[in-house]
Amino acid sequence: MDRIRKLIEKIEKYGIDNNVPIMSKDTIIELNKIINNEKVTSILEIGTAIGYSTICFANNENIKKVISIERDNLRYSIAKKNVLESNLSNIKLINDDAFNIEFN
């Protein structure tokens, strides 16, 4: 099993054990199908939680950039640790309320 798959499973277990809301595996699979079929290259995720879906999407070879916003400081710090462990360079995490961010 590859390193990213092991990390995703570890994050999934943490989410379940600690009642952190994460996407279901089926939802991840369906969204990745859409990403591939529609040739999506970037994602804006509002609600990083612990980085589970962020890493799942960033691991898709079609995705060049995932920007993910999390307002909860504890969850953001856990997500940041998980993203660093993933070693995926196409993820940008933002620790703020999405309503406070101006997009140009």
What CATH number corresponds to the domain at position 9? 3.40.50.150
pLDDT of residue 73: 98
Sign of CA dihedral 9, 29, 78, 16: negative
Measured CA distances, 87 to 19, 56, 83, 90 (Å): 25, 13, 7, 9
Whether the pLDDT of residue 68 is over 60: the answer is yes
pLDDT of residue 104: 75
User: What radius of gyration, in Å, describes the C-alpha atoms of the chain?
Assistant: 13
Q: What is the pLDDT averaged over residues 2-23? A: 96
Q: What is the pLDDT averaged over residues 65-85? A: 98
Q: What is the pLDDT averaged over residues 14-18? A: 96
Asked whether residue 93 is assigned to any structural domain, the reply reads yes
Asked whether residue 56 is assigned to any structural domain, the reply reads yes
Q: Is 101 helix (H, G, I), strand (E, B) or coil?
A: coil
Q: What is the pLDDT averaged over residues 96-101? A: 96
Domain count within the chain? 1
Q: Residue 46 — pLDDT band, cuts 50, 70, 90? A: very high
Whether the pLDDT of residue 10 is over 90: the answer is yes
pLDDT of residue 22: 96
Asked whether residue 25 is assigned to any structural domain, the reply reads yes
Asked whether residue 102 is assigned to any structural domain, the reply reads no
Give the domain extent around 11: 3-97
Which residues, 6 or more positions from 36, have their beta carbon under 8 angstroms from its beta carbon?
60, 62
Whether the pLDDT of residue 1 is over 70: the answer is no
CA–CA gap between residue 73 and residue 49 (Å, rounded) = 10
pLDDT of residue 102: 87
Q: What is the pLDDT averaged over residues 1-30? A: 94
